[in-house]
Amino acid sequence: MIQEWAGCRAGGLACTPGQPRSSISHYCLSWTTLPVMDDASPATGATADSLALLEALLRASGSLRARLAVLASSVDLNVTELLIIRQCAAASPGISQRELAAALSVSPAQISSVVERLRSRGLIEARRPVEDRRRQVWRLTVPGRRTFGQVLPGLVKATAGLFAGLPPTAIDLLGKSLRQLNSAATATNQLAIGRPDEEDMRGAA
């Protein structure tokens, strides 16, 4: 355990321990005690289990992403573009940019440029659902559906290979657990970077 100065601010002025602020006549004594792990100490218990799980997830993710990269390149796409096309194919009557960002765990600003590339290639198009004309969603065009149809058999084969040997109950539990993990990670990211930007409404019909 060590003591570490947490720091404080008042009136936009920073202070240091034992030093009086120029505008406020008191001393900053904002110290806190923080646990410190010795670099030589191995992680144990729940920490070790969490790290092992993280490593397993990264290995599985890397393997799947490598397979997806091969499939995506066969139709001149990258992995992110392929995943967006899959999301558009699965959503009816379409999917918004904010929903795409949530599904891929990235910011709406990052999704915007990828969506524009796909739109400029004629693979997706914007529309406003009849039931809510204020909402803009993206859906596949005819060329987009054709492109997705080209990679779908390989996509199914790639994902099936990862789950070979797992019983349906285990796959169902894994899916639920990963969705919960993704939700928690997304919430943590939003707290770190702030509220997402408003949806980009450019290109609306």
78 and 126: one domain? Answer: yes
In our burial notation (b when 16+ CB lie closer than 10 A, e otherwise), range 5-16 reads eeeeeeeeeebe
- Condensed to tens digits (0 to 9), the pLDDT of residues 10-38 reads 433 444 444 444 433 333 444 344 444 55
Distance, in Å, from the CA atom of 25 to the CA atom of 11, rounded to the nearest integer, reads 13
In a domain, 65, yes or no: no
In a domain, 142, yes or no: yes
pLDDT of residue 96 exceeding 70: yes
In a domain, 46, yes or no: no
User: What global pTM score does this model have?
Assistant: 0.61
Q: What is the CATH number of the domain that holds 116?
A: 1.10.10.10
Distance, in Å, from the CA atom of 131 to the CA atom of 108, rounded to the nearest integer, reads 24
82 and 144: one domain? Answer: yes
In a domain, 76, yes or no: yes
In a domain, 192, yes or no: no
**What confidence category does residue 162 fall into, taking pLDDT thresholds of 50, 70 and 90?**
confident
In a domain, 138, yes or no: yes
Lowest mean pLDDT among 15-29, 31-45, 116-130, 166-180: 15-29
In a domain, 205, yes or no: no
End position of a domain, from candidates 130, 153, 176? 153
H-assigned helices in 2-139: 45-74, 79-90, 97-104, 108-120
* pLDDT for residue 181: 78
Domain count, the chain: 2
**What confidence category does residue 108 fall into, taking pLDDT thresholds of 50, 70 and 90?**
confident
Which structural domain, as residue segments, surrounds residue 16?
A: 2-32
In a domain, 66, yes or no: no
